[in-house]
Each structure stands twice: as C-alpha cells, then as structure tokens.
Structure 1
Amino acid sequence: MKRRILTLSIVLMMAFSICNMDTFTSYADTNLIIGRNREVPVFESGEEVRLGIPIENIGEDSIKDVTISLDTSDLKSFPFEIEKMSTTKRIASIHGKSDEDIGFYLKVAMNAEAKTYPIKVSVSYDGGTASETVYVKIEENRQKPSLELMDVKFEGNSVSAGQSSVMKLEIQNEGETMAKDVEISFEGLKAEAIRLDNYMNVPKIKEIKPKHFHEIPLKIYANEDLKSGTYELDLSIKYKDEYNHEYEKKKKIYVPVDGAGDQELDFGFENLAYPVDGVKTSQDFDIAFDLKNLSGKDAKNLKVSIDAGAEILPKSASVKNIKSLNVGESIPMTFKLFAKDGIESKNYPVKINVEYGLKDSKSEEKNSLSQYVGIFIKGDNSKLTPRIIIDNYNYGKEYIQTGETFPLNISFFNTNKSASVKNIKVSISSEGDAFAPVGSSNSFFIDEIGASNRVNKTIKLKSKSDAEQKMYNITADIEYEDSTGKAQTAKEIIGVNVIQEVKFKTSDVKIPEEVFVGGNASLSIDFYNLGRGILRNMMIHTEGGFEVNSGSTYIGNIDAGKDDYYDVTVIPNKEGKGTGKIIFEFEDTVGNPYKVEKDFEIEVMKEPEMPPMDPEMEMEGQKGSSSKKWIWIGGGVLLVGGIGFVVRRKRKKKAEEVSIDE
C-alpha cells in the first residue's frame, strides 16, 4: 500500500513540474482568478469583436456587487475605440466554485498598430479587489494606398544635350484606399549632368484615388557637355493614407540622352546624277548632286567623301570640306571616277558619306550619314581569276556524336562565268584533329569544274571518342589551275557540330525473396551516367500487372559520371508470375529524347494462413489480464518518469551548451 501511495505521489509531482505555471494566476488575498486557461485572442484592425474575460471564484462563498473594468488610462497603448463603448461591466454575484465569462463588445481602432497589447483588468467586489493583465494580439488588415511608377515618357523618346525637355511620370494608386499629400523629389540631380529646369514647378498632388492614374509633367535639362548614354535618377514618392500614416516609395528612373555628337541632322541628295546604263572599264564618269540641309539646325565642319572600293578609283578629290551648311541651304557637289581595267562585269556600290557637327554646340563630336549609288561596270570576265568556293555541305544531321562515323558531302562551285578550272586537289583537315578519314586519305582529286558549275564530293570521317562537345571547323585547302595553266589556291572553312555520346546504364532490378498476394514489395534499381554529357529532365515510372504506389518520380538532371537510384513499392493482386518494367525517359544536351526500359519478373505466393489460437492459451490470457493491468500502470509510471528524466537531461545539456558558448 505504501509503495502505491509513493508511486502516486511521484506521478503527481512530475505532472505539476511539466505544467506551465504561467497559465494561470492565483492570489493569496482573494478567491478570484482572472484569465485562467485563456488563449491570447487575435483581432484585426477595424473589426468589431467580443473580448471575453473569464473570472473564476475558487472560494466556497459567493461574491457580490462585482465590477469589472478595463484600464484605459493610456489610450496610446489601448487598441480599441472608446467613443461609443463601455469599458466597465457589472454583475450581481459570482457563486462559489463557479466562473463567469465577462464579454466586452469593442471595435478595434483602424490605426491600431499590429502587435500584442497588454490590458489591465481590474475587479472589485463586496469585500475585496483583484487585478490581472491579459493580452490581445492585433493583426493589421488595414487597407493601404500603394503608389507605383508605371511609365516614364520623354518628348522624342530621349533628351538632347543642351536642351530642356518634358519628362512625364505616370503614377498609379494600386491600393484600395486614397493616397494624399503626394510629394515628388529626386536624388542624384547634378548641374553638370541632369537637373530640373525649375524646382518651383514640381507639382504637389492633393490626392490620388484607388486604381486611378496621375500624370506628372516635369521639365528637365541635360547639360550640353553630356555624352550619349543613359543616366540614372533616384525618384522618391512620399504620401499619406487617410489616417496620416506616412509612406515612401523609391524608384530608379533612366534618362536616355543624345549627346551633341549623336544628334542627327537630315540631309538631302537632290538632283542626283550618275550613269544609269553602265560604263566601260577605264572610262571616266561623274557622280553629281546638291547636298541640302533639311534639318532644323545648322551644320558645321562638313566633310563629304566618296568611296567605291579598290575597283573604282577617283580622278578628282575624293574628299570635299564645307565650313557650314545652314538650315535649308544647299551646295552642289561633283566627283569624277573611273573603273580599273580587268575587273568583273557587275554592279558596284559607291558610298557617299557626310560627316558633320552641330553649329550651336561646344562639342567637337561628329555625326555622319551615308548614301549609296550603284554603278554597273562592263568588264572583261575572261581576264578574271576563277575562284573555287564551297557553296554547300551536308553531313546528314544537325550534329555528330563522339566516335561516330559519318559521310561529309561537299559542293565545290566555280564562280567564274566564262573560264573553267582543272587539276583540283582538295586536302581536308580539322581543328584539333577532331575528325579522321575512314577508308581513304584526307585528300581527293577533281579533274575539272566548268564555268559557273559545281562538283559534289563525299568523304567518310570519324569523330574522336574523347572530343569535347562544340562546333569544330573543317578546313578545305584547294589547289587548282586556271584556264591558262596558272596555279591557284583557295581555302574554305565549314563547321560540324559534335555532341557527347549518351552512355546510360542500369543495374538489375532488386526484388524481395518472398512476395505475397496483397503485400507490399519494395523494388529498387541503380542507374549511372557513364557519358561525358549531362542527361536532362529524367523521369522514371513503373508499369506492370500490379498496383503501384507513387510509381512516377522526377529526377531532373544527372551530371556526367554521376549515379542515383530509384525505388518503388508494388502490391500484387494475384498469385503466380508477374511481369513489369521500369521506364527511364530523359533528354541529351541538345534535347533529343531517350527511353530505356528495364524488365523484371516477380514470383507472387499465396498469403500464408495464420495458425488457430489454442483455447488453453486463451484462458491463460484471461487469467493474466488482471496482472497485465498493473503491468500497464507500472509501464505508464516508468514512461512518465522517463520523459521527466529526458526533459531534465535536455534542459541540463542545453544549459551546459549555453554556458560553453558564453
């Protein structure tokens, strides 16, 4: 008996030690307990709520004339509106050994800050008083204004250096309430860079309604010495809500500036004259025009030049300088040229270029524009050196795998329109010896290619097994003779894309030795990326004549040389041999899909029957039920004791860790 009393005492002591003593408050001088077992209520701003205060009379006698009041002496820390509510409640009595839930119907202030508030509750009654602090948590649900910069617009899409321009800011209130007293300001404005043209003209906005836009025009000035580029400004938007809470948004604004050297003018090439029917080689011809300033600004330091390449040469000065060309003014220009003897008959482009500066700008930077004229030259094509080019090639696919043999078909084209080429030797070489010829040398011979004709040749190549994944250049060195027997050479380069070979291996499927109908059977398989490239977007799933639990798994990418495993649980529903397969689906580095299937077999046995229970064993079990009852009680006591011991050990260990850290 004494042992049972001792055990019960230990259990009660441990139960009290585990309980949180802060969950209720007792008073030595009163029989009232305020707020016991009360969770902290959570309210939202603007919400009408009921604040329940539980008051418990733990004495034997009733208490009378009970007054309950909330302390409102500090309104800043009181989260409720008190204009139309009572913070005092009166009840006639609270019987002994009973409790009352006193409800205060309140409205949370709209501007209440989101936090936990302490509220002192005082209770007075016939014969005594009591007080306690309870806590209320307020969560902010107040709708706010939210001003966002939606767009920035410039006149002409940019700002010109040395000029004022209007920048328009488009601001939207994306919030649910009005924004008022909106003020705009900038940081990073500099007199030598970008500044407001008039600080006094920065508008102040009284209000922006919810979901409304407001456009703010601002006049800015870009310094005349600024170079072309994008300049950064820091915009600050300050505003208030209807409760005078202040907000600030900061945004970056990027101002595109056209420097003096990049401010383009428009020129016209009027009365343009040139030989439209073509000219013969060594024959002089003129290109003439009137250069007119069509812009709204004067130009200075103009340089007009003409360039027709190495085939057409100037006979007069190819560059003419003009000191200035004012708005609307024009000046006649003439250039005399001739075509060299022996050039090919075709149309040749002649470039007329005009460089200029801005007359009113201090900057010496220049801008330019060009005009092209086509001149047809009637040349003697028989005197031209024939050229051989590769005008087409094909290796059958978009890429070649490492170690793969492939045919490379090349088309050789004679560009000359009147002369053939002969005795052509082509030697093939590759970057880093990435490709080697198969069944032949790296050279081949072509007897002849007629004028404007082509010949196709095919060579078998094999890529190196350890080649890196990239585009490799193949060079064709061409030696040939023209129609006069003169030796000529040419070099052409083509590209072949090489990717790593996919090498994916798996182990055999691991299957349990015994599998029963209706039972869980865990299967697993290992897999390996033995190649040099990444296997992407791997998905694995299982199929078969059985139920599969969570059979699909997304693995993602498998790096080169890495391995992983996959396991799955299947539930056979019939006896005998069951078959299935584990399917791997993935892509290589260029997105080609692959599918690998691993078959497996499961021998499913009938579920074994449970042996019947011996009646004598059943009787013994009933006899032992009484003793088992005390075993369970004893086990419970030991469990509670063990929990207490572990808790004390953990607290002690935690204290030791803290002391060590300190």
Structure 2
Amino acid sequence: MSKRLLVTFMVLVMTLFLPFSENQNSIQLKYSVADAVYGSVGNSNSSSSSSSSGPILVVKDVSYSPETVEAGDKVTVSLTLANIGDEKAETVRVSPAGLSNEEFTIAGDSVTKYVETLGKNRQTTLEFPLLASEKMDGGNYNLVVKATYRDEQQSSYSDDYNLFISVKGKGKSADVAIENIVVTPERIQDNESFSLAFMVKNNGKTRAENIKVSLKGDEGIFSKSPDIIMIDSLDPGKSHAADFKLFAGDDLQSKYYNIHISVEYEDSARGNDRVTVNQYAGVNVNASRSKLIPKIIINSYRFDPMVVRAGEQFRLEMSFLNTSSTRTVRNIKVYLTGIDSDEEGKIVFTPVGSSNTFFIDSIEPKGVSAKSLVMYTIPDAEPQTYTVTANFEYQDGDGEEYEATELIGIPVIQQSQLSAGEISLPPEAFVGQPVPVSVEFYNTGKTRLNNVMVRVEGKFEVQEKQLYVGNFDSGSYDYFETNIIPTETGQLNGELVFTFDDPSGEPQEYVREFSVNTVESPPVDPSEQVPPDGMGERQGVVEKVFKNNSFWIGMGTGLAAAMVTGIVASKRKRKKRIEFDEDE
C-alpha cells in the first residue's frame, strides 16, 4: 500500500498552474495548504506527463455543527472530499483516527463512511458525529481524518487530513483563544511587507495573566516588529488586539508560507500553570522574476532592559538586513525621527551620548549589520506604544540611490509605586500581651499593581500574619492590621513587607520597618486584690491601686492601644463613608 500525506487545496493548485501551449505534454504542479483550519502545512512538487497520475483525494471544506463546540457536547464534523486526480477512486473509506476518552469519541454506532466510487473532478460531503469529552479544557484540538481507497488498477492509497477543532471549556478556568486572523494583503510579491493581525480573547470564567504572544514564520518570512507581545492580563470576555509587521524575502517561491502563532498564559484556576494555545496563519507569495530593487529592513530589534520605563534609560538594539540575494548596498545613512515628541509636542525620548544618526559602510547580500542607541524616557511619559521612524538613504553597486523607511514601536510603561502611611502602634508593650499594628497603604503610581500582598515579619508571634489584596488600581488605598505578641524584653523590631507584580510581570517588594520597646508585664500585689468578703476594705484597696505605678503603666499602655484601635476604626468608617459617597 502506498501512502501519501496530502496537504493541499484545490484552489491553490488551480491558480498556480504555469502557462502552457497546445504542444506541451507536461506541467509542473505546486500544492500547499491555504487555511489554518487544516493544521498540516507544507509544500510538495510533482511532475506529470500524458500518463495518468491516479486518483488524488483532498479535503476542500470543513464545517462544524454547532459552530461553537463546548466540552461535553455533541458535534457534527462535515467535510467535502474531492477527487482532483486523473482517475476515479474506488472503495473509499474515511474515518477519524486517534479518538480517545480524553478528547473526542464516537457519538453513534460507527463513524466510518464508505463511498463506492468517487469519479474524476467529483466530490462528496461526509458527516461524522463526535462527542467532546467533559474533561476537555478550552483550546484547539487536532483531529486526524484518514482515507483509504484504490485506483482502477486496484493499487491502494492512504491519506491523512489534519483538522483543528476549537473547544470551549466548561470548567472554572481561563480559556484564551486566537480569533479573527487577518493577513493584509492576502497575496504579496516577494521582497514585500505585510501585516498579521488577530484578537487574543479570554472565553473562560477566570482571569488569564502574564500572557505571552509570539509568532514564527517559515524560512524567508521575517518579523519587522518584535515577535513577542506581553499582555498583563485578560478578564473573562475581554480581548486584546495583536498586530505584527512582517516581510517576505526576495528568494521565495510562489507558494503559501505558514506563520505559527503561540499564546502562553497563567491560569489561577489551574494553580498558575502555564497554558499554551497554538494556531497557524499564512500568506500567499507570488514570486517575481523582474529586476529587484535592493531593500534594507529592520529584521529585528529589542530593548535592554526589555521593559522601557518612564524616567529611565534603555538601549535600543537594531539589526539591519539587506534582503537582496545578489546586490550589495553601500553608503548607508540611518537616522531616527519621531523620537523627540508625542502628540502634545512633549519630548519623550532623548538620545544619550550620541545623535540619532549613524552610518554603515556596506551590507553584503543577505548580510546583517547591528547598531545600538541609548535613549532616555521622560518621567511623565504616558503608558503607551510610541512609533519611531528609521529612515534609510543608501546606494547599490552602480551608485543608484534609494530611500526607505521602517517603523519601530517602543512600548513605555510608568513606574510602579506603592506607598504606606504612618505605622500605628503603642510606644511600649508587655511580653505576652497583644500589641495592635496597623497601616494604610496606597497605589501612588500610574499603573495597576497585580497580586498585592502584605505580611508582617519579626521575632514575635502574629495573630494575622498576611493579607492578600490582589489587583490594586492606580489611586486606590487599603489598610492592614494585625496583633503581634512579644516573646522577650528589649527593642522589638519588625517589618511590613508589601509584594506585587508590576505591569511587565516582574515581582517587586516594598518594606517598611517598625520597632517598639518591650518590658515585662507588671506583677500584681496580692494585698492590692479585693477579698471576696472584704466589702469594708474596698475603699482602701482602691486607694492603694491608684497609688501603684504599675497600675498607671498598664493603664497608659491600654489607653494607647485603645487609641490605636479607635484611629483604625475611624479610618475604616472614613473609608466606608468615602466609598458610600462615591456610590451616590
């Protein structure tokens, strides 16, 4: 039995036939996948003469009912099977392969479909009832459909078709999906730029955090923008637009080139495990055979540090690629514009220790030249992506002059800042007695803080050691209170430790120290205690108590604790009153 893995669409085969005349007796066919739905991607070439090539079965169309597949639901997969070969196919058997209880199972008695004969240029529609497992998480699942058939000489064939089914999970977890993929333009020439845009959406029930979006194209497809995008978080039902700038080299063939999209994220409902979602897109390249103009592009750029923060310096590292495979470019002048102001005319980036212009002697065919520039970001820059234009002036080997431009996106985030007020606690404490400690804290920065937590540390016992706040918006405030119990006398030192994640996902820590003097608890004089039956002696005992210094020390400490508690209660009431007023 011969086996062939067909990864082609008939529409592409038809449009990629080379011109021929009546006296030609052979043609060259190029097949390639043209839709991410089918998953398998690649390219195959074959030559044929006047002799028959036999039957060739391909999947032309796939649909699902219902369109949105949820875990635990039945789904009917409908596919159109077409014979684009030179002979009829006989004894055709088609069925899904690799079914399991963890993913898809048969929703009926049998899932194998039988077609007695499928003639040349004929097609048929087949339906397969399946059941999605209750255990499935949201994501894209690969379904392999296998076909076996014979030709007129009874030679056997076997083909596999890879389908992707998007499943929406029912669990209480995040479910990030890649939707609405758009390539502009859909068909390009080699040595040409294009864009890939899509939506990253959370279809789940919980927040997805620390989302990393990346892509990688086939050989010859270059990214002109950073090939990684970081998204802070996505609430359930929310989306984030992703847009990448790409470039097709000048030595590409006329075929469909694939682009792999990957999304990784953390899901708190799964213990913050990293979840990965994969999808494919692509672009049709029509290779040109005319004289090519040598082009310079920025094939990659990065920032050091990776996150550009307002008020700090960063290094912009750029790599310039000569896309021509035959011609050297010379006398290259590169200068950056748009770095000195935003929409309001404020200076945003300032070159440090150099100008915004530099010179490159030459770049060989397919060669790369790297340059870097240190810049400073103003402290009050708005958190957004700023566009910087790289302008090129250069010559080819014949001295002909060219100009070109490339765009660089620089995402800027504001400094994260958490502040705390005065720590409230009494001036003196007793060993073994609870001491109230409280503090208000504020998000005084311009960005939201994630995973905010407060804890108290020190050589003492603690009744409530930590408080988890979670997300903390800019301008918000909260408070933390607990009781510490000293275990020894002397100077008692402690720390209030605030931890959080900034918008880039990096953990940050803010520490406030406190101290209190600790003494032994005052002894109680038995003679000062009131006897059960000593009603006549109560007045004398009371007088002695009031004259005892230990009483006043204890009374002062208790009063201080009461004042602290009163202050905290007052703050609580004030905060609730403010929230109430805002609601009104």
Pairwise same-fold verdict (TM > 0.5): no
User: Which is higher, the Rg of structure 1 or of structure 2?
Assistant: 1
Question: 1 or 2 for the larger relative contact order (CA 8 Å, sep ≥6)?
Answer: 2
TM bucket by the smaller chain?
0.3 to 0.5
Provide the TM-score with structure 2 as the length reference. Answer: 0.43
Provide the TM-score with structure 1 as the length reference. Answer: 0.39
